Structure 1
């Protein structure tokens, strides 16, 4: 026994804490994912426009 909490209760508390943290920060993770996707699309469009400009010149 670790301190006054038995191991199963300690593991349950740890799992509950991790799950709660993920639930709370989920909108931040989703926003980061959306921002990264938009950034990749912008870079792709920029590269395509540069290729068109280089080909026509």
Structure 2
């Protein structure tokens, strides 16, 4: 069995890899979310000012 991974080891490595990827890229996801909220607010303000004109 030398040089091979068992199923539990493979599952553990996969879960660990996915979790670490989410942890590493979390600030990028948060920044994207903040940017989208700002764009929605700017669009809403632009539409409101258009309606008033």
Q: Indicate the TM-score class for this superposition, using the shorter chain for normalisation.
A: over 0.9
Task: With the length of structure 2 as denominator, give the TM-score of the two structures.
Answer: 0.94
Unaligned runs of 5+ in 2: none
Aligned residues: 52
Task: With the length of structure 1 as denominator, give the TM-score of the two structures.
Answer: 0.87
Bigger Rg, structure 1 or 2: 1
Cα-Cα RMSD: 1.4
Structure 1 stretches (4+) deviating beyond 4 angstroms?
Answer: none
The higher-RCO structure (CA 8 Å, 6+ apart) is 1
